[in-house]
Structure 1
Amino acid sequence: MKNKSVFVVFFTFSLLLLGSISGPLSLMPSAEALKGQGVPSSQYGSATKGIVCGDRLCSEVESEVKKEEKKIEKKEQVKTEKKESEKKKLDDKAASEKARYDELSLPPRTIKTGTVTSVQDPGLGHESHQLAIILPPSEKVYRGLFTFTASEDIQLVALHGPLKEGEDKGQAIWSPDGETKYALTFVPLNAMAGTWQFAGNALAVHTMNEDPFTVSYSVAYRERTLSDTVKSETITSVQDPGQGHENHQLAIILPPRPYAYFGTLGFSASEDVQLVALHGPLQPGQGAHGQAIWTPDGKSFYALTFVDKETAMGTWQFTGNAVALHTMNETPFTVSYSVATGQ
C-alpha cells in the first residue's frame, strides 16, 4: 500500500513537470535562427538568403563590387584614352615628318617680278577684251601667290585644262580656237591692286575694255607635276554619301586621310557650289559639342567646314583631312579644277 502511494505521487509529479515544460515550448515559433536584435525584419533563417551575406547585407557587398568594377572600368578607359592619345601623337609626328619630306622633295619655288602691257584677248568671244599673260599654259599645275598693281581695275584669270572632249558641260570655258578648251576661273576683283593665291594651268590678268593696260607684279610659285595630291581634271558629282545629305551632290577633290592636307584649289563649276573641308575622324565624344558634323555611316564622324560663297568659280586656300565641292541639289554638276598641296 505504501509502495502504491509512492508510485501515485511520483506519477503525478512527473505529469506536472512535463506540463510545465511543454507549455512554453508550444508557444515558441518555428525558426531556424533567432531574430537579430534591433533589426526590424519579419524574415529569419533561410528567408534571409540573398539579403544577408555573412556579417553584412548583400546590398552593401554588391555596392562595393559595383564601385570596384567602376574603378577598374575607369582605369581601363584612362588606359585606352592614353593609348589613343599616344597613337595620335605618333601619327601627328609621322604626318609632320612626311610633310617635311614632301616639302624637301618639292620643286624649287620660282619668284619673279615684271611689268607687262596687255594685248587683245585671243579667246573666242573675248575679242573686245584685253589680256596680260603672267604664266603661260602648262601641263603642270601652277600654285603660288600673285601681287600686282595695274593702270586700271582688272579681273584675275586662271585656266584649267586643256579639257578632254565632252568635258565642257556648263562651266565657263576659254578657247583660242574652238578646239582647245580650258575651264575658266574668272575673279571679278575690279581693283587696281591686290594679292591672289592661285592654282591653275595658266595665270593672267584681264579687262573688258579694248584699250591696253599696264600691270606690274611679283609672283612666287611652284610648277607641280600631277599626282594624287596635285591634280588638274574635270569630274561629275555624285549623291552625297553623308547621312542627312542624301538629296545633295558632292564632288570629292581630295579623299579623307588621317593627316591633314594644306593647299590651294582653283575651280570652275557648272553651277554655284559650296566648299567643304572635313576634319577628323573625331575621337569618341568629340562630336557632341555643337559643331557641324558629317558622317557616312554613323560610326566615323568628321567636323564639317561648309563655305557658301554663292559662286560657280573661284580659288580657296584650305587645310583639312578631306576637300570637296557640294550643292544642295539632286542633279549632278560638273567641275573643272586645279589643286596642289604642300608648302
Structure 2
Amino acid sequence: MTKTTFIAIFAVAVLLTGTMAGPIGLVQSADALKSKGNNLTEIGSKKVCGDRLCSEVPPAEKSGEPKKKEQVKSEKKAESAEKAKEAPKKDTKAEKMMEAKTVTKTPKTVTGIITSETDPGIGHESHQLAIVLPPSDKTYRGYLTYTASENVQLVALHGPLKKGMDKGQAIWTTDGKTKFGLTFVDKETSTGVWQFTGNAIAIHTKNSEPFTVSYSVTYTEHSTDGQRIVKGTTTSVQDPGIGHEEHQLALLLAPRDKAYSGHLTYDASEQVQIVTLIGPIEKGQIQGMPYWTPDDKTYYALSLVPTKAAGSTSFSGNALALHTFNSEPFTVSYSIVLTNPQK
C-alpha cells in the first residue's frame, strides 16, 4: 500500500467518526437537560420541562397557576357531599325511643300536714278536700300513708275526659267544661295505706268543717304512651264469652300470651266485678274451675272479683276487664300503670 493511499483511508475514517459523534452528543445533551429539571413551559417545544419534553406535558400541568379560591371551595364542597352520601344515616327516632326505654323512673317521697279547704268541685261545695298530688297530664302511681283527724275518703281523678265521655260515671269538675273521672274510695277510717293510680290524688270528707291530715306519699309520674301507661273512658259491650251473653264487659287489656302485671284505678257508673283471664289453657286442664271462652276452642281460667263502682287494685294475668251481670251497658274511666310493657 502506498503512502498516499494510507493517508486517504485515514482521512475518510476521521470524517466518519465525526459524523457519528455529533448526533450522540446532541442526545446526551438533551438527556442531561431533562435530568436537571429545566422549567421551560413552551407548548410544542422540544425543550425540557422537568422530567419530560415540554411538548409531552399536559396544558393543565404546565400552567403552574394556583387554583382559585372558588374552585378549591367548590371541590371541597363536592367532596363533603360525597362523604355525606356514603355515611350511614342516623335513626334519630329509634335513638330517642331507646333513650326513653332506658330512663329509670325514680320514686319521689313527700311528707307533710295539710288542713283541708272547701272542695272546689261543682256539687261538692259543702265538702272538704285536701289535695295531695295536684292534677297533671302525667299519671301518678304510688302509695299513700295517712292519718286524719276524722274518717276520710280517698280520691283519684282520671282525665281530663274527652268531650262526650262522661256517661254516668262519677265526675269531678270545677267549671263544667274540664271534667275528670272520679274514683271515690270510702274505707270508713281515719288512717290507712292506699295504693293508687291517677292524674290527681286527694283526701276528702263530706263534712263542711275542715280536717287535718298527716301523710307520706311515694310516687312516680308517667306519660301516657299506650304501652306502659293506659288510661281512658270506655262503655261496656255484650260479653262475648260463651255463657255470658246476658252480661256486660269492658275490656281494658286484651288477651295476650305474655302476662300483664300492674295497678288499676277505676271509676264506673255502677258496681262492677274485676275480671282477670289466665291462659290460654287446654280444655282438659279446666277440671271444674271457672273459665272463659269466646269460641269453645280457646280457654282461659277466669278470676272474677266482686267490688264497688270505684276502686284501686293490683293485678296480674293475660287479660283485664270489668264486668257486670246486667244486660245494660256501663261506663268506666280508668288508669293503668303496667310494670311490664304491652309489647
Q: Structure 1 residue aligned with 2:325, among 300, 324, 328?
A: 328
Q: Distance in 2 between matches of 1:210 and 1:105?
A: 44
2:316 matched residue in structure 1: 319
Query: For 1:46-85, what aligned pairs fall within 5 Å after superposition?
Result: none
Deviation for aligned residue 1:106? 4.6
Q: Distance in 2 between matches of 1:135 and 1:193?
A: 18
Q: Distance in 1 between matches of 2:291 and 2:232?
A: 28
2:9 matched residue in structure 1: none
2:251 matched residue in structure 1: 252
- The alignment's C-alpha RMSD in Å is 1.8
Aligned residues: 241
Q: Structure 1 residue aligned with 2:289, among 288, 291, 308?
A: 291
* Counterparts in 2 of 1:250 and 1:105: CA distance versus 1, 3 Å: farther
Deviation for aligned residue 1:104? 6.3
Deviation for aligned residue 1:229? 3.8
Amino acid at match of 1:323: L
1:294-327 deviation per Cα after TM superposition (whole angstroms, max 9, x unaligned): 0111111110000112x21111211111100011
Q: Structure 2 residue aligned with 1:193, among 162, 175, 191?
A: 191
2:169 matched residue in structure 1: 171
Amino acid at match of 1:169: K
Alignment of 1:153 with 2:151, yes or no, is yes
Query: For 1:106-255, what aligned pairs fall within 5 Å after superposition?
Result: 106-226=104-224, 227-255=226-254
Q: Distance in 1 between matches of 2:306 and 2:101?
A: 31
Alignment of 1:339 with 2:336, yes or no, is yes
Q: Distance in 1 between matches of 2:319 and 2:109?
A: 30
Q: Distance in 1 between matches of 2:139 and 2:234?
A: 17
Is 1:103–1:342's contact at 8 Å kept on the other side of the alignment?
A: no
1:53-89 deviation per Cα after TM superposition (whole angstroms, max 9, x unaligned): xxxxxxxxxxxxxxxxxxxxxxxxxxxxxxxxxxxxx
Q: Decide which moves more: 121-130 or 226-235.
A: 226-235
Given the two structures, how large is their TM-score scaled by the length of structure 1?
0.67
Q: Distance in 2 between matches of 1:308 and 1:103?
A: 36
Is 1:158–1:199's contact at 8 Å kept on the other side of the alignment?
A: yes
* Counterparts in 2 of 1:193 and 1:248: CA distance versus 1, 3 Å: same
Deviation for aligned residue 1:130? 0.8
Amino acid at match of 1:136: P
Q: Distance in 1 between matches of 2:219 and 2:232?
A: 20
Amino acid at match of 1:112: V
Find runs of 4+ consecutive structure 1 residues off by over 4 angstroms: 102-106
2:275 matched residue in structure 1: 276
Deviation for aligned residue 1:284? 5.3
Deviation for aligned residue 1:105? 4.6
Amino acid at match of 2:244: H
Task: Give the share of equivalent positions with the same residue, in percent.
Answer: 57
Q: Distance in 2 between matches of 1:295 and 1:138?
A: 39
Amino acid at match of 1:162: P
Gaps of 5+ in 1: 1-101
Deviation for aligned residue 1:110? 1.5
Deviation for aligned residue 1:217? 1.0
Q: Distance in 2 between matches of 1:324 and 1:217?
A: 32
Amino acid at match of 2:298: S
1:165-195 deviation per Cα after TM superposition (whole angstroms, max 9, x unaligned): 1111111111111111111111112211100
Q: Distance in 2 between matches of 1:122 and 1:152?
A: 20
1:302 matched residue in structure 2: 300
Deviation for aligned residue 1:332? 1.5
Query: For 1:4-43, what aligned pairs fall within 5 Å after superposition?
Result: none
Equivalent position SS for 1:299: coil
1:29 matched residue in structure 2: none
Q: Distance in 2 between matches of 1:338 and 1:202?
A: 11
Q: Distance in 2 between matches of 1:239 and 1:284?
A: 24
Q: Distance in 2 between matches of 1:219 and 1:225?
A: 19
Q: Distance in 2 between matches of 1:326 and 1:267?
A: 12
* Counterparts in 2 of 1:228 and 1:132: CA distance versus 1, 3 Å: same
Equivalent position SS for 1:285: helix
